[in-house]
Amino acid sequence: MLLSASACQNQTSTIANTTSNTTSAQSNSQFRDRQIVSDFADQVVIPTYQLFAQKAVQLSNAIESFVQEPNNQTLTAARNAWRDARSPWEQSESFTFGPADSLGYDAALDSWPVNETDLTAVLQSNDPLTVETIQKRQDTEKGFHAIEFLLFGTQNNKKVSDFNQRELEYLQALGKDFNRVANELVASWTTGVENQPAYREVLATAGESSNSNYPTLPSGAAEIVQGTIDSLDEVANEKIGEPLAQKDTKLLESRFSFHTLEDLKSNVKGAENVYLGRFPDANTDGKGISNFIAQVNPDLDARIKSQFQSSITALEKIPAPLETAMANPQAVQQIQAAQTAIDNLQQTMRQEVLPLVQN
């Protein structure tokens, strides 16, 4: 009897230990790391937007200098300032949720493709061109690509002598409005705008009882991951896929400046920044989604990091600019390879990472 009782006790102990280990494993696989969510805001989003706002000021100032003294030097400076502003902005496309979406900042800054007919109509009209009137115009008549159209021309070869006074007035107003929107975007995350709290606080308090936007901590993490999925999907299937399928360079995002390829690189780099919890351009480095994935599935984390590198490498193999490479059959194969690599990455994020953080 004693032996039987002892065996029963050992069996009960084994079941208890197994249950405890299972519960512990389940607990360890649940997303509970609040620092990853707060570091996303503090080490990725805000530094990216702050750098973008700095570049927006420089772009506005460079445009003003060109308007006041139109010459080759000031035109080159304005074009370079436009390109410089693209890098942090395109890196931010993995977090266009929140105020960038709800308050219309993303659309006001970066709607594309623009309609050349609409822009020409603005130039040919007698409508006043001021910051106030620009705010009221449709999104495709302002922001990055309206400025790009005016600065670079339709084939990236516009000369100083090609500019008329109306174009300079339009540029000047666009630059000032662009700067205004960029600064409001930063404020929307840091201090709050339009009687709304700073979005940094909204996201960082995910899971608290008063948070209706993110009722659980995993819902905040899922928003972060979904942002990267959406951006990578757009890169692979819209920014690359649609122009490639239709063989139409007019569908490329930054076709006037021949800058689309650099945009794509920045998009993928930005998604990687989110995954790793960093923004190298501002020397920030925190905890990212990678930290959680490495804990629950280290092989998956290693695979994702490898896929990011493969995607970036594939983009770097495409001969620049993309606007002319699309006419080269050999380059088209490289473009297709990059599209496939990026699409594979977004599918891994969608099918394997998102379910893990949602637990």
Chain CA centroid to CA 244, Å = 22
Homologous superfamily of domain range 34-358: M75 peptidase, HXXE motif (1.20.1420.20)
Given the structure tokens 């709304």, which residue do they identify? 196
DSSP designation for 280? G
DSSP designation for 45? I
The Cα angle at residue 156 between residues 153 and 160, in degrees rounded to 5: 60
Q: Which of 260, 268, 266, 273 is nearest to 310 (CA)?
A: 268
Both tokens assigned to 125: 């009209």
DSSP designation for 279? E
Q: How far is CA 63 from each of CA 56, 87, 294, rounded to the nearest angstrom?
A: 10, 18, 46
All residues at 6 or more sequence positions from 126 whose CB lies less than 8 Å from its CB, including other chains: none
**Bridge partner residues of 278 (DSSP):** 285
Ramachandran assignment for 283, one of left (phi > 0), alpha (psi -120 to 50 degrees), beta (any other): left
Q: How far is CA 189 from each of CA 52, 99, 241, rounded to the nearest angstrom?
A: 13, 8, 32
Q: Which of 269, 352, 195 is nearest to 44 (CA)?
A: 269
3-class secondary-structure state, position 284? strand
On average, the pLDDT of the chain sits at: 93
d(CA 273, CA 40): 9
pLDDT in tens, 37-91: 999 999 999 999 999 999 999 999 999 999 999 999 999 999 999 999 999 999 9
For residue 305, the surrounding DSSP H or E stretch is helix 298-316
d(CA 38, CA 288): 10
All residues at 6 or more sequence positions from 313 whose CB lies less than 8 Å from its CB, including other chains: none
pLDDT of residue 28: 63
Q: Which of 303, 302, 300, 284 is nearest to 355 (CA)?
A: 300
DSSP designation for 33? -
Whole-prediction pTM: 0.92
Q: How far is CA 94 from each of CA 76, 270, 273, 352, rounded to the nearest angstrom?
A: 30, 6, 9, 18
Both tokens assigned to 37: 């969510």
pLDDT of residue 115: 86
Given the structure tokens 């690189």, which residue do they identify? 265
3-class secondary-structure state, position 285? strand
How many residues in the chain?
Answer: 359
The residues of the chain scoring below 50 in pLDDT are 1-27
The Cα angle at residue 164 between residues 160 and 165, in degrees rounded to 5: 120
pLDDT in tens, 200-241: 999 999 999 999 999 999 999 999 999 999 999 999 999 999
Residue 319: cis peptide before it, omega within 30 degrees of 0 = no
**Bridge partner residues of 57 (DSSP):** none
CB atoms within 10 A of CB 354: 17
All residues at 6 or more sequence positions from 261 whose CB lies less than 8 Å from its CB, including other chains: 315, 318, 320, 321, 322, 325
d(CA 111, CA 258): 17
